[in-house]
Structure 1
Amino acid sequence: MVHVESIARLDPDRRRRTGVPEVVFAEGKTPEQTLRLLAGLRRTDPGGPALATRCPAEVLTGAEEFFAGQDGPVTVDRLGRTVVVGELPEPHGTVAVLAAGTSDLAVAHECLTTLAVLGARGRLVADVGVAGLHRLLDALPELEGAACAVVIAGMEGALPSVVAGLVDMPVVAVPSPVGYGVGAGGLVAAAAMLTSCSPGVAVMNIGNGFGAAVHAARIARLSAAANAAAPAQAAPPAREASSAKAAPPAHSAPSETPAPEARTAPGTPGGHTTPPAAGSVDAPTAQGTPHV
Protein backbone atom coordinates (compact mmCIF):
# COMPACT_ATOMS: atom_id res chain seq x y z
CA MET A 1 0.00 0.00 0.00
CA VAL A 2 1.28 3.46 -0.91
CA HIS A 3 0.12 6.61 0.88
CA VAL A 4 -0.37 9.75 -1.18
CA GLU A 5 -0.13 12.32 1.61
CA SER A 6 -3.52 12.47 3.32
CA ILE A 7 -5.77 11.93 0.28
CA ALA A 8 -5.45 8.24 -0.64
CA ARG A 9 -3.88 4.84 0.00
CA LEU A 10 -2.97 3.33 -3.33
CA ASP A 11 -3.07 -0.41 -3.93
CA PRO A 12 -0.41 -1.13 -6.59
CA ASP A 13 -0.63 -4.89 -5.91
CA ARG A 14 -4.23 -5.12 -7.12
CA ARG A 15 -3.25 -5.91 -10.71
CA ARG A 16 -1.34 -9.00 -9.56
CA ARG A 17 -4.11 -10.17 -7.21
CA THR A 18 -7.15 -9.64 -9.39
CA GLY A 19 -5.97 -9.04 -12.94
CA VAL A 20 -7.51 -5.55 -12.77
CA PRO A 21 -5.43 -2.54 -11.63
CA GLU A 22 -6.67 0.15 -9.31
CA VAL A 23 -8.29 2.99 -11.25
CA VAL A 24 -8.89 6.64 -10.37
CA PHE A 25 -12.57 7.65 -10.28
CA ALA A 26 -12.18 11.38 -10.88
CA GLU A 27 -15.73 12.45 -10.15
CA GLY A 28 -15.79 14.28 -6.80
CA LYS A 29 -12.02 14.83 -6.78
CA THR A 30 -10.19 18.03 -7.63
CA PRO A 31 -8.18 18.03 -10.89
CA GLU A 32 -4.96 18.19 -8.88
CA GLN A 33 -5.94 15.17 -6.78
CA THR A 34 -6.88 13.19 -9.86
CA LEU A 35 -3.60 13.90 -11.65
CA ARG A 36 -1.49 13.17 -8.57
CA LEU A 37 -3.27 9.87 -7.98
CA LEU A 38 -2.93 8.93 -11.64
CA ALA A 39 0.81 9.67 -11.47
CA GLY A 40 1.10 7.68 -8.24
CA LEU A 41 -0.56 4.63 -9.77
CA ARG A 42 1.60 4.79 -12.88
CA ARG A 43 4.84 5.03 -10.90
CA THR A 44 4.04 2.42 -8.24
CA ASP A 45 2.48 -0.06 -10.72
CA PRO A 46 4.57 0.32 -13.90
CA GLY A 47 3.51 -3.09 -15.21
CA GLY A 48 0.62 -1.52 -17.12
CA PRO A 49 -1.07 1.77 -17.93
CA ALA A 50 -2.86 3.90 -15.34
CA LEU A 51 -6.49 4.89 -15.97
CA ALA A 52 -8.72 7.67 -14.68
CA THR A 53 -12.46 7.73 -15.46
CA ARG A 54 -15.15 10.41 -15.26
CA CYS A 55 -12.54 13.13 -15.66
CA PRO A 56 -13.59 16.79 -15.64
CA ALA A 57 -12.53 19.14 -18.42
CA GLU A 58 -9.55 20.46 -16.46
CA VAL A 59 -8.03 16.98 -16.26
CA LEU A 60 -8.77 16.17 -19.89
CA THR A 61 -7.09 19.35 -21.10
CA GLY A 62 -4.21 19.38 -18.60
CA ALA A 63 -3.11 15.74 -18.52
CA GLU A 64 -0.61 15.86 -21.38
CA GLU A 65 1.15 18.92 -19.97
CA PHE A 66 1.14 17.49 -16.44
CA PHE A 67 2.88 14.27 -17.45
CA ALA A 68 4.95 15.76 -20.28
CA GLY A 69 5.92 12.32 -21.58
CA GLN A 70 7.71 11.33 -18.36
CA ASP A 71 5.48 8.33 -17.66
CA GLY A 72 4.79 7.16 -21.21
CA PRO A 73 2.18 8.26 -23.73
CA VAL A 74 -0.97 10.02 -22.55
CA THR A 75 -4.27 9.11 -24.22
CA VAL A 76 -7.27 11.36 -23.66
CA ASP A 77 -10.83 10.47 -24.70
CA ARG A 78 -12.96 13.58 -24.28
CA LEU A 79 -16.20 11.80 -25.15
CA GLY A 80 -15.61 8.94 -22.72
CA ARG A 81 -13.98 11.34 -20.20
CA THR A 82 -10.99 9.05 -19.64
CA VAL A 83 -7.23 9.57 -19.35
CA VAL A 84 -4.71 6.75 -19.82
CA VAL A 85 -1.02 7.09 -18.98
CA GLY A 86 1.35 4.46 -20.36
CA GLU A 87 1.53 1.97 -23.21
CA LEU A 88 -1.54 -0.18 -23.78
CA PRO A 89 -1.00 -3.96 -23.51
CA GLU A 90 -1.32 -6.34 -26.43
CA PRO A 91 -5.03 -7.31 -26.72
CA HIS A 92 -6.19 -10.88 -26.12
CA GLY A 93 -9.82 -11.64 -26.86
CA THR A 94 -12.51 -9.44 -28.40
CA VAL A 95 -15.55 -7.76 -26.87
CA ALA A 96 -18.33 -6.27 -29.01
CA VAL A 97 -19.65 -2.98 -27.59
CA LEU A 98 -23.13 -2.14 -28.89
CA ALA A 99 -24.61 1.32 -28.41
CA ALA A 100 -28.34 1.72 -28.99
CA GLY A 101 -28.00 5.35 -30.09
CA THR A 102 -25.43 8.06 -30.64
CA SER A 103 -26.37 9.51 -27.25
CA ASP A 104 -25.02 6.33 -25.63
CA LEU A 105 -21.53 6.71 -27.08
CA ALA A 106 -20.06 8.40 -23.97
CA VAL A 107 -20.71 5.24 -21.94
CA ALA A 108 -19.48 3.10 -24.86
CA HIS A 109 -16.21 5.03 -25.06
CA GLU A 110 -15.56 4.63 -21.33
CA CYS A 111 -16.07 0.90 -21.87
CA LEU A 112 -13.77 0.76 -24.91
CA THR A 113 -10.93 2.58 -23.15
CA THR A 114 -11.19 0.32 -20.11
CA LEU A 115 -11.13 -2.78 -22.32
CA ALA A 116 -7.93 -1.55 -23.97
CA VAL A 117 -6.30 -0.90 -20.59
CA LEU A 118 -7.23 -4.42 -19.45
CA GLY A 119 -5.80 -6.05 -22.56
CA ALA A 120 -9.00 -6.85 -24.46
CA ARG A 121 -9.92 -5.72 -27.96
CA GLY A 122 -13.11 -3.62 -28.14
CA ARG A 123 -15.22 -3.53 -31.30
CA LEU A 124 -17.78 -0.68 -31.42
CA VAL A 125 -21.15 -1.34 -33.06
CA ALA A 126 -23.04 1.95 -32.92
CA ASP A 127 -26.65 3.06 -33.49
CA VAL A 128 -28.38 -0.33 -33.43
CA GLY A 129 -31.33 0.45 -31.13
CA VAL A 130 -34.65 -1.38 -31.21
CA ALA A 131 -36.45 1.50 -32.94
CA GLY A 132 -34.90 0.17 -36.15
CA LEU A 133 -34.41 -3.58 -35.77
CA HIS A 134 -33.16 -3.87 -39.35
CA ARG A 135 -30.03 -1.97 -38.31
CA LEU A 136 -29.28 -4.47 -35.56
CA LEU A 137 -29.91 -7.44 -37.83
CA ASP A 138 -27.62 -5.96 -40.48
CA ALA A 139 -24.89 -5.50 -37.85
CA LEU A 140 -24.99 -9.03 -36.40
CA PRO A 141 -22.05 -10.23 -38.55
CA GLU A 142 -19.91 -7.63 -36.77
CA LEU A 143 -20.32 -9.64 -33.56
CA GLU A 144 -18.68 -12.74 -35.00
CA GLY A 145 -15.55 -13.79 -33.15
CA ALA A 146 -16.38 -11.80 -30.01
CA ALA A 147 -16.28 -13.60 -26.66
CA CYS A 148 -18.80 -11.25 -25.06
CA ALA A 149 -21.16 -8.39 -25.92
CA VAL A 150 -21.60 -5.23 -23.87
CA VAL A 151 -24.96 -3.68 -24.78
CA ILE A 152 -25.67 -0.07 -23.81
CA ALA A 153 -29.14 1.47 -24.04
CA GLY A 154 -31.24 4.20 -22.47
CA MET A 155 -34.92 4.99 -23.06
CA GLU A 156 -36.88 1.74 -22.49
CA GLY A 157 -33.68 -0.34 -22.29
CA ALA A 158 -34.90 -3.19 -24.50
CA LEU A 159 -31.79 -3.72 -26.63
CA PRO A 160 -29.91 -6.17 -24.35
CA SER A 161 -32.92 -8.51 -24.22
CA VAL A 162 -33.14 -8.52 -28.01
CA VAL A 163 -29.40 -9.11 -28.48
CA ALA A 164 -29.37 -11.91 -25.89
CA GLY A 165 -32.06 -13.67 -27.91
CA LEU A 166 -29.95 -13.57 -31.07
CA VAL A 167 -26.40 -14.50 -30.00
CA ASP A 168 -24.70 -17.35 -28.15
CA MET A 169 -22.24 -15.24 -26.16
CA PRO A 170 -22.50 -13.66 -22.69
CA VAL A 171 -24.34 -10.33 -22.72
CA VAL A 172 -23.50 -7.51 -20.29
CA ALA A 173 -26.21 -4.84 -20.17
CA VAL A 174 -25.54 -1.22 -19.27
CA PRO A 175 -28.47 1.18 -18.77
CA SER A 176 -27.56 4.69 -19.85
CA PRO A 177 -29.07 7.86 -18.39
CA VAL A 178 -30.60 8.83 -21.74
CA GLY A 179 -34.30 9.54 -22.15
CA TYR A 180 -37.19 11.82 -21.25
CA GLY A 181 -38.94 12.47 -17.92
CA VAL A 182 -40.29 9.16 -16.67
CA GLY A 183 -37.10 7.43 -17.82
CA ALA A 184 -35.78 8.77 -14.49
CA GLY A 185 -32.18 9.11 -15.59
CA GLY A 186 -31.80 5.48 -16.60
CA LEU A 187 -33.87 3.82 -13.84
CA VAL A 188 -36.50 2.60 -16.30
CA ALA A 189 -33.81 1.13 -18.56
CA ALA A 190 -32.13 -0.52 -15.56
CA ALA A 191 -35.41 -2.04 -14.38
CA ALA A 192 -36.15 -3.33 -17.88
CA MET A 193 -32.75 -5.00 -18.09
CA LEU A 194 -33.07 -6.53 -14.63
CA THR A 195 -36.45 -7.99 -15.60
CA SER A 196 -35.29 -9.21 -19.02
CA CYS A 197 -37.07 -12.27 -20.36
CA SER A 198 -33.80 -13.32 -22.03
CA PRO A 199 -32.01 -15.45 -19.42
CA GLY A 200 -28.46 -14.84 -18.29
CA VAL A 201 -28.15 -11.10 -18.96
CA ALA A 202 -25.71 -9.48 -16.50
CA VAL A 203 -26.74 -5.90 -15.63
CA MET A 204 -24.41 -3.10 -14.53
CA ASN A 205 -25.26 0.13 -12.74
CA ILE A 206 -26.52 3.12 -14.71
CA GLY A 207 -23.82 4.47 -17.02
CA ASN A 208 -21.17 2.09 -15.68
CA GLY A 209 -19.20 1.40 -18.84
CA PHE A 210 -16.12 0.82 -16.68
CA GLY A 211 -17.70 -2.00 -14.67
CA ALA A 212 -19.07 -3.61 -17.82
CA ALA A 213 -15.60 -3.57 -19.39
CA VAL A 214 -14.03 -5.23 -16.34
CA HIS A 215 -16.59 -8.05 -16.44
CA ALA A 216 -16.35 -8.46 -20.23
CA ALA A 217 -12.53 -8.35 -20.27
CA ARG A 218 -12.39 -11.21 -17.78
CA ILE A 219 -14.69 -13.26 -20.00
CA ALA A 220 -12.60 -12.44 -23.08
CA ARG A 221 -9.35 -13.38 -21.39
CA LEU A 222 -10.75 -16.66 -20.07
CA SER A 223 -12.05 -17.46 -23.56
CA ALA A 224 -8.71 -16.65 -25.18
CA ALA A 225 -6.86 -18.75 -22.58
CA ALA A 226 -9.20 -21.69 -23.18
CA ASN A 227 -8.67 -21.46 -26.93
CA ALA A 228 -4.91 -21.35 -26.48
CA ALA A 229 -5.00 -24.41 -24.21
CA ALA A 230 -7.07 -26.51 -26.63
CA PRO A 231 -5.17 -29.62 -27.81
CA ALA A 232 -3.45 -29.11 -31.13
CA GLN A 233 -3.63 -31.56 -33.99
CA ALA A 234 -1.52 -31.55 -37.12
CA ALA A 235 -3.02 -30.99 -40.54
CA PRO A 236 -3.34 -34.12 -42.72
CA PRO A 237 -0.28 -34.77 -44.90
CA ALA A 238 -0.44 -33.81 -48.55
CA ARG A 239 -1.34 -36.62 -50.90
CA GLU A 240 1.71 -37.87 -52.78
CA ALA A 241 1.61 -37.78 -56.53
CA SER A 242 3.45 -40.42 -58.53
CA SER A 243 4.96 -39.99 -61.91
CA ALA A 244 6.46 -43.51 -62.03
CA LYS A 245 5.34 -45.58 -64.96
CA ALA A 246 5.83 -49.29 -65.54
CA ALA A 247 7.57 -50.37 -68.70
CA PRO A 248 4.96 -51.63 -71.15
CA PRO A 249 5.07 -55.30 -71.97
CA ALA A 250 5.95 -56.32 -75.52
CA HIS A 251 3.19 -56.04 -78.10
CA SER A 252 0.81 -54.25 -75.62
CA ALA A 253 -0.36 -50.70 -75.04
CA PRO A 254 1.42 -48.72 -72.28
CA SER A 255 -0.40 -48.55 -68.96
CA GLU A 256 0.15 -46.32 -65.88
CA THR A 257 1.00 -47.74 -62.47
CA PRO A 258 -1.65 -46.64 -59.93
CA ALA A 259 -0.55 -43.84 -57.59
CA PRO A 260 0.38 -44.95 -54.05
CA GLU A 261 -2.15 -44.36 -51.28
CA ALA A 262 -1.75 -41.32 -49.05
CA ARG A 263 0.15 -41.97 -45.83
CA THR A 264 -0.77 -40.65 -42.36
CA ALA A 265 1.90 -39.17 -40.13
CA PRO A 266 2.97 -41.64 -37.40
CA GLY A 267 1.15 -41.19 -34.11
CA THR A 268 -1.55 -39.03 -35.68
CA PRO A 269 -4.78 -41.01 -36.03
CA GLY A 270 -6.46 -39.98 -39.22
CA GLY A 271 -3.94 -37.20 -39.59
CA HIS A 272 -6.46 -34.52 -38.64
CA THR A 273 -5.57 -31.78 -36.18
CA THR A 274 -6.34 -28.15 -35.60
CA PRO A 275 -3.70 -25.43 -35.10
CA PRO A 276 -3.74 -23.72 -31.72
CA ALA A 277 -5.56 -20.42 -31.37
CA ALA A 278 -3.80 -17.16 -30.61
CA GLY A 279 -2.26 -16.87 -27.12
CA SER A 280 -3.66 -14.93 -24.23
CA VAL A 281 -2.81 -13.55 -20.87
CA ASP A 282 -3.71 -15.40 -17.72
CA ALA A 283 -7.27 -14.95 -16.53
CA PRO A 284 -7.86 -13.17 -13.24
CA THR A 285 -8.20 -15.32 -10.17
CA ALA A 286 -9.81 -12.94 -7.71
CA GLN A 287 -12.32 -10.14 -7.56
CA GLY A 288 -11.67 -6.58 -6.42
CA THR A 289 -13.09 -3.08 -6.37
CA PRO A 290 -10.63 -1.27 -8.60
CA HIS A 291 -11.54 2.39 -8.24
CA VAL A 292 -9.61 4.70 -5.93
Structure 2
Amino acid sequence: MDSVELKRLLEGVATGSISVENTLERLKHLPFEDLGFANVDHHRKLRQGHPEVIFGQGKSIGQIEKIMIALLDKGNNVLVTRLSEEKGVKLCAHFPDACHHKDAGCITVERQPVEIIGRGTILVISAGTSDIPVAAEAVVTAKIMGNRVEQLFDVGVAGIHRLLARRELLQTATVLVVVAGMEGALPSVVGGLVDRPVIAVPTSVGYGASFGGIAALLGMLNSCASGVTVVNIDNGFGAGYAASLINKAS
Protein backbone atom coordinates (compact mmCIF):
# COMPACT_ATOMS: atom_id res chain seq x y z
CA MET A 1 0.00 0.00 0.00
CA ASP A 2 1.50 3.34 -1.08
CA SER A 3 0.76 6.81 0.29
CA VAL A 4 -1.86 7.53 -2.38
CA GLU A 5 -3.87 4.42 -1.59
CA LEU A 6 -3.51 5.00 2.14
CA LYS A 7 -4.75 8.59 1.74
CA ARG A 8 -7.72 7.35 -0.29
CA LEU A 9 -8.52 4.81 2.41
CA LEU A 10 -8.37 7.39 5.20
CA GLU A 11 -10.49 9.86 3.21
CA GLY A 12 -13.07 7.11 2.78
CA VAL A 13 -13.20 6.64 6.53
CA ALA A 14 -13.54 10.40 7.04
CA THR A 15 -16.46 10.66 4.62
CA GLY A 16 -18.11 7.48 5.85
CA SER A 17 -17.91 5.67 2.51
CA ILE A 18 -15.58 3.06 4.03
CA SER A 19 -16.29 1.56 7.43
CA VAL A 20 -13.76 1.57 10.25
CA GLU A 21 -14.06 -2.23 10.44
CA ASN A 22 -13.24 -2.61 6.74
CA THR A 23 -10.27 -0.28 7.07
CA LEU A 24 -8.93 -2.16 10.07
CA GLU A 25 -9.23 -5.46 8.20
CA ARG A 26 -7.27 -4.08 5.24
CA LEU A 27 -4.54 -2.60 7.42
CA LYS A 28 -4.04 -5.85 9.30
CA HIS A 29 -2.00 -7.22 6.42
CA LEU A 30 0.25 -4.23 5.86
CA PRO A 31 2.93 -3.03 5.92
CA PHE A 32 6.21 -4.87 6.12
CA GLU A 33 9.69 -3.47 5.68
CA ASP A 34 12.09 -5.15 3.27
CA LEU A 35 15.64 -5.11 4.66
CA GLY A 36 16.97 -7.28 1.85
CA PHE A 37 17.63 -10.25 4.13
CA ALA A 38 14.42 -9.97 6.19
CA ASN A 39 10.88 -8.68 5.77
CA VAL A 40 10.05 -7.06 9.10
CA ASP A 41 6.37 -7.41 9.94
CA HIS A 42 5.36 -4.07 11.45
CA HIS A 43 1.68 -4.94 11.75
CA ARG A 44 2.04 -8.13 13.73
CA LYS A 45 1.06 -6.29 16.90
CA LEU A 46 -2.17 -5.20 15.23
CA ARG A 47 -2.98 -8.75 14.11
CA GLN A 48 -1.69 -10.75 17.05
CA GLY A 49 -1.34 -8.34 19.94
CA HIS A 50 2.47 -8.36 20.17
CA PRO A 51 5.28 -7.19 17.86
CA GLU A 52 7.44 -9.59 15.90
CA VAL A 53 9.98 -11.44 18.04
CA ILE A 54 13.50 -11.95 16.70
CA PHE A 55 14.88 -15.50 16.70
CA GLY A 56 18.59 -14.84 17.16
CA GLN A 57 20.01 -18.26 16.41
CA GLY A 58 21.54 -18.42 12.94
CA LYS A 59 21.43 -14.65 12.42
CA SER A 60 24.52 -12.45 12.38
CA ILE A 61 24.96 -9.58 14.84
CA GLY A 62 24.51 -7.13 11.97
CA GLN A 63 21.26 -8.72 10.85
CA ILE A 64 19.83 -8.73 14.37
CA GLU A 65 20.83 -5.10 14.92
CA LYS A 66 19.09 -3.94 11.73
CA ILE A 67 15.89 -5.82 12.56
CA MET A 68 15.94 -4.39 16.09
CA ILE A 69 16.38 -0.86 14.76
CA ALA A 70 13.48 -1.35 12.34
CA LEU A 71 11.19 -2.51 15.15
CA LEU A 72 12.31 0.17 17.61
CA ASP A 73 11.85 2.92 15.02
CA LYS A 74 8.15 1.97 14.87
CA GLY A 75 7.79 2.37 18.64
CA ASN A 76 7.87 -1.33 19.51
CA ASN A 77 9.51 -3.02 22.45
CA VAL A 78 11.87 -5.76 21.31
CA LEU A 79 12.52 -9.35 22.38
CA VAL A 80 15.39 -11.35 20.89
CA THR A 81 15.57 -15.04 21.78
CA ARG A 82 18.12 -17.83 21.32
CA LEU A 83 21.24 -15.75 21.74
CA SER A 84 24.67 -16.92 22.79
CA GLU A 85 26.20 -14.93 25.63
CA GLU A 86 28.71 -13.45 23.19
CA LYS A 87 25.96 -12.17 20.89
CA GLY A 88 23.99 -10.84 23.84
CA VAL A 89 26.96 -8.83 25.14
CA LYS A 90 27.68 -7.35 21.71
CA LEU A 91 24.05 -6.35 21.15
CA CYS A 92 23.83 -4.72 24.58
CA ALA A 93 26.91 -2.66 23.70
CA HIS A 94 25.04 -1.36 20.64
CA PHE A 95 21.76 -0.83 22.53
CA PRO A 96 22.67 0.56 25.99
CA ASP A 97 19.06 0.37 27.20
CA ALA A 98 18.84 -3.35 26.43
CA CYS A 99 18.50 -5.87 29.24
CA HIS A 100 20.54 -9.05 28.84
CA HIS A 101 18.78 -12.07 30.34
CA LYS A 102 21.80 -14.35 30.28
CA ASP A 103 20.08 -17.35 31.87
CA ALA A 104 17.33 -17.19 29.24
CA GLY A 105 19.57 -16.47 26.25
CA CYS A 106 17.47 -13.37 25.50
CA ILE A 107 17.69 -9.61 25.40
CA THR A 108 14.82 -7.16 25.73
CA VAL A 109 14.56 -3.47 24.92
CA GLU A 110 11.62 -1.77 26.61
CA ARG A 111 11.22 1.79 25.36
CA GLN A 112 7.51 1.77 26.09
CA PRO A 113 6.12 0.87 29.53
CA VAL A 114 4.96 -2.75 29.60
CA GLU A 115 1.29 -2.61 30.50
CA ILE A 116 -0.07 -5.54 32.50
CA ILE A 117 -2.88 -6.86 30.32
CA GLY A 118 -2.99 -10.47 31.52
CA ARG A 119 -5.91 -11.03 33.87
CA GLY A 120 -4.20 -13.45 36.21
CA THR A 121 -0.76 -14.84 36.99
CA ILE A 122 1.38 -17.18 34.92
CA LEU A 123 3.41 -19.66 36.97
CA VAL A 124 6.55 -21.09 35.36
CA ILE A 125 7.86 -24.27 36.98
CA SER A 126 11.08 -26.14 36.27
CA ALA A 127 11.77 -29.72 37.28
CA GLY A 128 15.50 -29.18 37.75
CA THR A 129 18.08 -26.43 37.84
CA SER A 130 19.36 -27.64 34.47
CA ASP A 131 15.94 -26.81 32.99
CA ILE A 132 16.10 -23.17 34.10
CA PRO A 133 17.39 -21.71 30.78
CA VAL A 134 14.25 -22.93 28.99
CA ALA A 135 12.00 -21.89 31.88
CA ALA A 136 13.66 -18.47 32.01
CA GLU A 137 12.92 -17.95 28.31
CA ALA A 138 9.24 -18.54 29.09
CA VAL A 139 9.41 -16.07 32.00
CA VAL A 140 11.02 -13.31 29.90
CA THR A 141 8.52 -13.86 27.07
CA ALA A 142 5.46 -13.76 29.31
CA LYS A 143 6.66 -10.65 31.14
CA ILE A 144 7.35 -8.55 28.05
CA MET A 145 3.91 -9.53 26.75
CA GLY A 146 2.32 -7.87 29.77
CA ASN A 147 1.76 -10.59 32.36
CA ARG A 148 2.36 -11.06 36.05
CA VAL A 149 4.73 -14.01 36.30
CA GLU A 150 5.77 -16.19 39.23
CA GLN A 151 8.49 -18.83 39.05
CA LEU A 152 9.10 -22.04 40.94
CA PHE A 153 12.34 -23.82 40.08
CA ASP A 154 13.89 -27.19 40.95
CA VAL A 155 10.79 -28.98 42.21
CA GLY A 156 10.95 -32.16 40.11
CA VAL A 157 9.54 -35.59 40.88
CA ALA A 158 12.78 -36.85 42.45
CA GLY A 159 11.78 -34.74 45.45
CA ILE A 160 8.04 -34.28 44.99
CA HIS A 161 7.63 -32.85 48.52
CA ARG A 162 9.25 -29.65 47.21
CA LEU A 163 6.34 -29.18 44.80
CA LEU A 164 3.63 -30.18 47.27
CA ALA A 165 4.96 -27.65 49.77
CA ARG A 166 4.02 -24.90 47.27
CA ARG A 167 0.59 -26.25 46.40
CA GLU A 168 -1.10 -22.97 47.33
CA LEU A 169 0.99 -21.17 44.71
CA LEU A 170 -0.09 -23.72 42.09
CA GLN A 171 -3.75 -23.05 42.87
CA THR A 172 -3.45 -19.27 42.48
CA ALA A 173 -2.04 -19.36 38.93
CA THR A 174 -4.28 -18.82 35.91
CA VAL A 175 -2.06 -20.89 33.63
CA LEU A 176 1.04 -22.96 34.40
CA VAL A 177 4.12 -23.61 32.26
CA VAL A 178 5.93 -26.76 33.41
CA VAL A 179 9.44 -27.40 32.09
CA ALA A 180 11.15 -30.78 32.48
CA GLY A 181 13.79 -32.97 30.90
CA MET A 182 14.78 -36.56 31.69
CA GLU A 183 11.53 -38.61 31.59
CA GLY A 184 9.35 -35.47 31.60
CA ALA A 185 7.01 -36.57 34.39
CA LEU A 186 6.44 -33.26 36.19
CA PRO A 187 3.69 -31.79 33.93
CA SER A 188 1.51 -34.86 34.53
CA VAL A 189 1.90 -34.44 38.29
CA VAL A 190 1.04 -30.74 38.14
CA GLY A 191 -1.84 -31.44 35.77
CA GLY A 192 -3.31 -33.78 38.35
CA LEU A 193 -3.21 -31.10 41.06
CA VAL A 194 -4.80 -28.08 39.36
CA ASP A 195 -7.91 -27.13 37.40
CA ARG A 196 -6.01 -24.71 35.14
CA PRO A 197 -4.34 -25.10 31.74
CA VAL A 198 -0.87 -26.67 31.92
CA ILE A 199 1.61 -26.08 29.10
CA ALA A 200 4.33 -28.74 29.16
CA VAL A 201 7.80 -27.99 27.81
CA PRO A 202 10.19 -30.91 27.26
CA THR A 203 13.87 -30.04 27.46
CA SER A 204 16.91 -31.71 25.94
CA VAL A 205 18.35 -32.27 29.43
CA GLY A 206 19.12 -35.90 30.23
CA TYR A 207 21.35 -38.90 29.63
CA GLY A 208 21.69 -40.92 26.44
CA ALA A 209 18.28 -42.58 26.30
CA SER A 210 16.55 -39.22 26.69
CA PHE A 211 17.44 -38.75 22.99
CA GLY A 212 17.84 -34.99 23.28
CA GLY A 213 14.40 -34.44 24.78
CA ILE A 214 12.40 -36.91 22.69
CA ALA A 215 11.78 -39.14 25.73
CA ALA A 216 10.36 -36.18 27.68
CA LEU A 217 8.34 -35.04 24.66
CA LEU A 218 6.73 -38.46 24.19
CA GLY A 219 6.05 -38.79 27.91
CA MET A 220 4.28 -35.43 27.98
CA LEU A 221 2.27 -36.18 24.84
CA ASN A 222 1.09 -39.38 26.52
CA SER A 223 0.15 -37.70 29.80
CA CYS A 224 -2.95 -39.14 31.44
CA ALA A 225 -3.60 -35.81 33.22
CA SER A 226 -6.32 -33.78 31.54
CA GLY A 227 -5.61 -30.22 30.46
CA VAL A 228 -1.93 -30.74 29.58
CA THR A 229 -0.78 -29.46 26.20
CA VAL A 230 2.76 -29.74 24.88
CA VAL A 231 5.11 -27.48 22.91
CA ASN A 232 8.32 -28.42 21.14
CA ILE A 233 11.58 -29.42 22.81
CA ASP A 234 13.30 -26.47 24.56
CA ASN A 235 10.61 -24.07 23.30
CA GLY A 236 10.29 -21.83 26.33
CA PHE A 237 9.35 -18.92 24.09
CA GLY A 238 6.41 -20.79 22.56
CA ALA A 239 5.15 -21.81 25.98
CA GLY A 240 5.40 -18.26 27.36
CA TYR A 241 3.63 -16.86 24.31
CA ALA A 242 0.80 -19.40 24.49
CA ALA A 243 0.44 -18.86 28.24
CA SER A 244 0.13 -15.13 27.63
CA LEU A 245 -2.67 -15.61 25.10
CA ILE A 246 -4.54 -17.84 27.55
CA ASN A 247 -4.01 -15.38 30.39
CA LYS A 248 -5.35 -12.47 28.34
CA ALA A 249 -8.43 -14.43 27.30
CA SER A 250 -9.21 -15.92 30.71
Normalising by structure 2, report the TM-score: 0.83
2-side partners of 1:205 and 1:162: how far apart? 19
Matched-pair contact (CA < 8 Å) for 2:184–2:217? yes
Report the equivalent of 1:90.
115
1:4, CA displacement in angstroms?
4.4
Once the two structures are superposed, residues 75-101 of structure 1 have per-residue CA deviations (whole angstroms, 9 ceiling, x without a partner) of: 110110101112451223310000000
- Classify the secondary structure of the residue corresponding to 1:28: coil
1:2, CA displacement in angstroms?
3.4
Residues matched between the structures, number = 217
Bigger radius of gyration: 1
1:42 equivalenced with 2:67 (yes/no) = no
1:56, CA displacement in angstroms?
2.1
Matched-pair contact (CA < 8 Å) for 2:171–2:194? no
Report the equivalent of 2:10.
none
1:39, CA displacement in angstroms?
1.9
Report the equivalent of 1:286.
none
2-side partners of 1:90 and 1:146: how far apart? 19
| Root mean square deviation, CA, Å | 1.3
Structure 1 residues 4, 67: CA separation in 2 closer, same or farther (over 3 Å shift)?
Answer: farther
1:62, CA displacement in angstroms?
1.8
Q: 2:56 aligns with which of 26, 39, 45?
A: 26
Report the equivalent of 1:195.
222
Aligned amino acid, residue 12 of structure 1: H
Report the equivalent of 1:135.
162
1-side partners of 2:213 and 2:228: how far apart? 17
1:74 equivalenced with 2:104 (yes/no) = no
Once the two structures are superposed, residues 59-78 of structure 1 have per-residue CA deviations (whole angstroms, 9 ceiling, x without a partner) of: 2112232123xxxx311101
Report the equivalent of 1:149.
176
1:142, CA displacement in angstroms?
1.9
1:171, CA displacement in angstroms?
0.2
- Classify the secondary structure of the residue corresponding to 2:103: coil
Tell me, which stretches of 5 or more residues in structure 2 are unaligned? 1-30
1-side partners of 2:69 and 2:81: how far apart? 14
Determine what percentage of the aligned residue pairs are the same residue.
Answer: 42
1:168 equivalenced with 2:168 (yes/no) = no
Aligned amino acid, residue 201 of structure 2: V
Relative to its length, the structure with more helix (as a share) is 2
1:200, CA displacement in angstroms?
2.3
